[in-house]
Structure 1
Amino acid sequence: MLPLFHDFEGRSVVIVGGGRVALRKARTFAAEADVTVVADAFADGFDGVDCQRRRRRVEPDEADELLASLKGELFLVIPATDDRALNDAIARAGREADALVNRVDERGDTVTPARAESGPLTVAISTGGESPAVARHLRREIEPLLERTEPMVALQADLRNRLGDDPDLSSKQRRQALRRVIDDDGVWRALEDGRHDDARDRAIEIVWMGSTE
């Protein structure tokens, strides 16, 4: 499988199942997508999720009818029940509806990775379903690094805008300039100490001194 970040804004996601796993999926996708959750009972916590809930019991032979009854074009279907036969039926119906399938009991068309985030930085971690515990462990290890790195992202964005306004610099020179800033220990120390103005001044000095050599 290949990793791919995807914009879910306005996409339709259907989750069948109302347990704790379904709740985690709903929380994840409701941040962007239009999420509908279908189950005969819902775990505590769904009240705080921005999703539509349809309370009904679904049998395997009702999977096609269920998905057909939902409005809009389905983008992602998530079978998240403890009934493997029902999950199989929902997955099949989802694919027949030209939707992607994200199973919770085995590998499907897509995998929802563990995510470490800080501001604009996002790192997705997957073990291909072999060890979710390892993925969660790595997420906890990576999160502090992302927090330390976030100020550098902002600084690099500022420098990219400045360099983009200079018609005398080639694309290669811009890349090299940004790389010199990332490789400079003094810039990192200033950012880590919260001296962002000092970091920016040093970065600008590094960029333009190197660009005029």
Structure 2
Amino acid sequence: MRRGANPRRRARGGPRMNRKYPVMLDLRGRACVVVGGGAVALRKVEGLLECTESVRVVSPSIHPGLAALVQAGRVEYLARAYAPGDLRGVFLVVAATDDPDTNEAVWQEAEALGVLVNTVDDPPRCSFYVPAVVRRGALTLAISTDGKNCALAAALRRELEERFGPEYGPLLDLLGELRDRIRREERDPSRRKALAERLATAGLDRLVACEGLPAARRRAEELVAQRGATA
């Protein structure tokens, strides 16, 4: 298939063909562009900066928040309107202007070059959607409504923020550390899996929240030691 071809336009099938494939993109070292300079563009830039240091803004004028990021050297800024060719060598672009013609031009160039594109509030001109996100350290929870109702996604995000508190960040770091240790020490895959599931469901999150990470670590170490005693 030639670069830039759009297989979605040739796809055939039932309702399942309309489903989106959820992925987690590694944007480190990949060029990302936001076309637009308003409050919406600022939010998109802030989200991208959580994942990459390579963000460029293209707009004749920019929001004070964006100006501060430019001043701090965190964002590259082209102080002009979008022009064809701005997406060469780009991995991902967000079209966030209030001009439908500009957004359409960005979409067309992105499609031609095979660049991932999100056009704000215009689902048909998106090759990806940006979900509502809850982050707790390495834990990421994402909610998408396929662009049908962002308010519902935001409401669900607030529920998840209450359900999954800040304790999940250090807890996940602890579980990752123990996983590496168990993989080194336990040769039996089924026993490794059983212990990982036991650690994940042992209420360690409540221990972190109520008594702190050291208490959760002690309990986790006990569970790992019990595995050794019964081997």
TM-score category of the 2 structures, normalised to the smaller one: 0.7 to 0.9
> In structure 2, the residue corresponding to 1:24 is in which secondary structure?
helix
Pairing partner for 1:55 from 79, 86, 89: 79
Matched, 1:4 2:23: yes
Task: Provide the residue aligned with 1:204 in structure 2.
Answer: 221
Task: Provide the residue aligned with 1:22 in structure 2.
Answer: 41
Matched, 1:77 2:93: yes
Partner deviation per Cα, 1:52-88 (whole Å, 9 max, x = no partner): 1112234xxxx424445xxxx1111222111212211
Percent identity among equivalent residues?
33
Distance 1:192-1:94 versus aligned 2 partners, 3 A rule: same
Task: Provide the residue aligned with 2:199 in structure 1.
Answer: 181
TM-superposed CA distance for 1:3, in Å, is 1.4
Matched, 1:131 2:149: yes
**Which segments of 5 or more consecutive residues in structure 2 lack a partner in the other structure?**
1-19
Q: How many residue pairs align between the two structures?
A: 203
CA contact (8 A) 1:13 1:33 kept: no
Query: Partner amino acid for 1:44?
Result: P
CA contact (8 A) 2:137 2:170 kept: no
Q: Distance in 1 between matches of 2:222 and 2:85?
A: 65
Partner deviation per Cα, 1:13-41 (whole Å, 9 max, x = no partner): 12221111111111211331422211122
TM-superposed CA distance for 1:161, in Å, is 2.8
CA contact (8 A) 2:171 2:213 kept: no
Task: Provide the residue aligned with 1:95 in structure 2.
Answer: 111
> In structure 1, the residue corresponding to 2:185 is in which secondary structure?
coil
Pairing partner for 2:60 from 32, 40, 53: 40
Q: Distance in 2 between matches of 1:34 and 1:53?
A: 11
Matched, 1:170 2:194: no
RMSD: 2.2
Q: Distance in 1 between matches of 2:205 and 2:23?
A: 29
Query: Partner amino acid for 2:78?
Result: R
TM-superposed CA distance for 1:198, in Å, is 3.4
Distance 1:16-1:192 versus aligned 2 partners, 3 A rule: closer
Distance 1:95-1:160 versus aligned 2 partners, 3 A rule: same
Partner deviation per Cα, 1:115-162 (whole Å, 9 max, x = no partner): 111111111121111121222222222124142333431331232133
Matched, 1:160 2:179: yes
CA contact (8 A) 2:134 2:160 kept: yes
Q: Distance in 1 between matches of 2:86 and 2:177?
A: 50
> In structure 1, the residue corresponding to 2:119 is in which secondary structure?
coil
Q: Distance in 2 between matches of 1:45 and 1:130?
A: 29
TM-superposed CA distance for 1:165, in Å, is 2.5
Partner deviation per Cα, 1:86-122 (whole Å, 9 max, x = no partner): 2111110122122111111312001111211111111
Query: Partner amino acid for 1:128?
Result: D
**Which segments of 5 or more consecutive residues in structure 1 lack a partner in the other structure?**
none
